[in-house]
Structure 1
Amino acid sequence: MAQKRPTPSAEAGEDVTGVKRARKGFSVGSANLPDGTHRRKVQKIKQDLIRKAKVKKSYNKLKEREQADAVKTSTFDQAPLVDGPASTELHPERQAMLDEPETAPAEQVPVTSHSRQRRPPRPKPTPFKKEAQLAQQRKEERERRQKEIEEANRQRQAKIEERERFRKVMAKARSGGKDGKRKLGLESKVLLEKVQRMMAE
């Protein structure tokens, strides 16, 4: 069997086993991607992987440190509790509670099965609650606009009728009476109404 060819570095007399080759790192996706959405997506994935690896590494270090601390402060190292003779004295809060006068029986409510009240049932969740509210608001807005339009039409119609009445009365007053003169009394009433309306506005 033929001998393997020596590498160029071995020929130069370098020690091949002692030299550490630089690590390449890791790659995600294709190496020759054009600039654009796909490349940015691949770069984002790579950055996420690096960040997760760093978090995992720091978590492992922290976990090891806590385990080492836990081994140092073991429960066996603590001094055992000394059980002394039990005292017959009551705790001050308990003693104060016992010293309080008893409440009147009228204040105490007997506990029966009926005294426990049931909570009111929770309202059923409506899947389109927001949409229903928006629809209700739109409906109210539409009704309000319709009322405004109807009111404006009614006022317009009233003004038209008033104008027509005014025109007829003025035409009648100007036509003259039996002697052919203008009817000033009739005309003055209509003009007075018109002036009063103008002053009110």
Structure 2
Amino acid sequence: MAPTRPHDDDPRNPAKKLKKGFSVGPANLPDGTHRRKVKKIKESLIHKAKLKQQYAKLKARADHGPPRKSVYERAAEASDNDDGNNNNEPTEPVPEPTLEPHPDRVKMLEEQSPEPSEERPAERRQRRQRPQPFQKESEVARKKKEDAEARQHARQEAEKQRAAKLAERERFRKTMAKARGGPNGQRKLGRESTVLLAKAQRLMGKT
């Protein structure tokens, strides 16, 4: 009699175990900092496991296969092969050095060099005056400086004239005081007349 297909709900049939992926931390974490941190740790563990698997495969392949030569050994072998090939090739004979000049040089010396044609020297162009930067500003500054110097000179002249007037006035006052100091309170007409005459001449000159 042919064997019958076992039922799924048969207690004698052991249930097939399903592989469950590993988990890091609780599965019911809310979205936030902790969930992102757990996810980052899980991804890091998966990456490390993959690296370990690849390393194990490479190590097993290296153990079973022939030893691989390093880069330096391969470069040394390639240079040795090149040297061997160069030694096998026939070398061309090198011409012996001589004191005779080269034929091309002799030919160039024999040819007559053409006379230089007289060329009219080019006239020198007049150089254009370069535009000076900040020319307007320099002109304004120069004018301001000249005005300041003129004002300073006028101020000094006015101070000199004022000082001269004050000195003359003081001299006039002293002379008039001396003219009144005669005996018995009489005036000295000689001194007083000189001062008054100078004052009258000055007033007439102004008018």
TM-score, with normalisation over the residues of structure 1?
0.40
**Greater Rg by CA:** 2
TM-score, with normalisation over the residues of structure 2?
0.39
Which has a greater percent of helix? 2
